[in-house]
């Protein structure tokens, strides 16, 4: 029994570009990542259920856009006179938030500007850990990951 060949189908399938991780133009390795495993609900911060559907949609839209580039890209992008992404020297003193005890002491506290007063608070790991193999897991650290700790709708993390 002869197989029927659909030349239009085959032609169409051949016209669809195939994207590969090995392509020189693929930039997946430099895109920043967002990790919620350290997410904490604080008396000053909020839980996801405290935000409206519209606020959550805006947050996800921002995360989608922010994840297209490395973290260091966002340090140089401005919203008005402020950087989109900022690393702090330490956990702020003038804050309504409480420093969680489960955050690694090496954490570099940071924030992403979302909209108006809305901030996403978290941390990154120091550059000296970049690509370093963890002795317990045998996996490599990634300094291009932002670990989300708090939702800050009212800009109460780093009060100015």
pLDDT at 1 over 80: no
Contacts by 89-96 with C-beta closer than 8 Å and gap 24+? 92/157, 92/158, 92/159, 94/158, 94/159, 95/44, 95/156, 95/157, 95/158, 95/159, 96/43, 96/44, 96/156, 96/157, 96/159
Residue pLDDT, tens place only, 42-73: 888 899 999 999 999 999 999 999 999 999 99
| pTM of the predicted model as reported, rounded to 2 decimal places | 0.87
């Amino acid at each position: 029994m002869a197989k029927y060949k659909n030349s239009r189908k085959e032609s169409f399938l051949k016209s669809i570009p195939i994207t590969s991780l090995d392509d020189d133009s693929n930039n997946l390795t430099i895109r920043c990542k967002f990790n919620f495993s350290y997410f904490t609900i604080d008396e000053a911060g909020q839980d996801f259920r405290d935000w409206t559907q519209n606020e959550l949609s805006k947050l996800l839209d921002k995360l989608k856009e922010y994840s297209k580039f490395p973290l260091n890209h966002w340090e140089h992008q401005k919203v008005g006179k402020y950087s989109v992404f900022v690393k702090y020297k330490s956990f702020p003193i003038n804050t309504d938030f409480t420093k969680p005890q489960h955050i690694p002491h090496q954490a570099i506290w940071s924030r992403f500007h979302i909209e108006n007063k809305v901030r996403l608070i978290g941390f990154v790991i120091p550059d000296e850990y970049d690509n370093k193999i963890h002795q317990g897991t045998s996996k490599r650290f990634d300094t291009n990951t932002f670990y989300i700790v708090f939702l800050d709708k009212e800009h109460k993390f780093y009060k100015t």
